[in-house]
């Protein structure tokens, strides 16, 4: 997964498990859900969302688009092993 190419297309930023802010960003409202997406895309404009979705298609990822993230079942995150996520 070439996240550097994605980073060049964003005004926002990409978090990975090695990023300092990753642990806080990946938390869900329901603390019983503990998922670790491969990357978290912090979008700041609509073009960031479009770039992240295009990236997910190219990389054959299944993105979870998180808005409020208040789903008790943890559906704000997708699979842990191959997911990308957009969040503002």
- Provide the residue ranges of all domains of the chain, joining segments of one domain with +: 3-87
What confidence score (pLDDT) does residue 82 get?
42
Rounded to two decimals, the pTM is: 0.72
pLDDT of 9: 93
Query: 3-87 — its CATH code?
Result: 3.30.43.10
Please say if the pLDDT value at position 18 is more than 90: yes
CB environment 61-82: b (16+ within 10 A), e (fewer): bebbbbeebeeeebebbbeeee
What's the pLDDT band for 2 if we cut at 50, 70, 90? Answer: confident
Residue 43 pLDDT > 60, yes or no? Answer: yes
Asked if pLDDT for residue 51 goes beyond 80, the answer is yes
């Amino acid at each position: 997964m070439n996240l550097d190419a994605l980073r060049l297309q964003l005004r926002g930023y990409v978090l990975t498990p090695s990023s300092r802010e990753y642990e806080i960003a990946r938390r869900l409202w329901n603390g019983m859900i503990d998922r670790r997406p491969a990357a978290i895309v912090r979008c700041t404009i609509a073009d960031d969302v479009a770039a992240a979705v295009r990236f997910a298609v190219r990389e054959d990822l299944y993105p979870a688009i998180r808005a409020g993230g208040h789903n008790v079942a943890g559906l704000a995150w997708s699979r842990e092993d191959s997911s990308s996520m957009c969040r503002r």
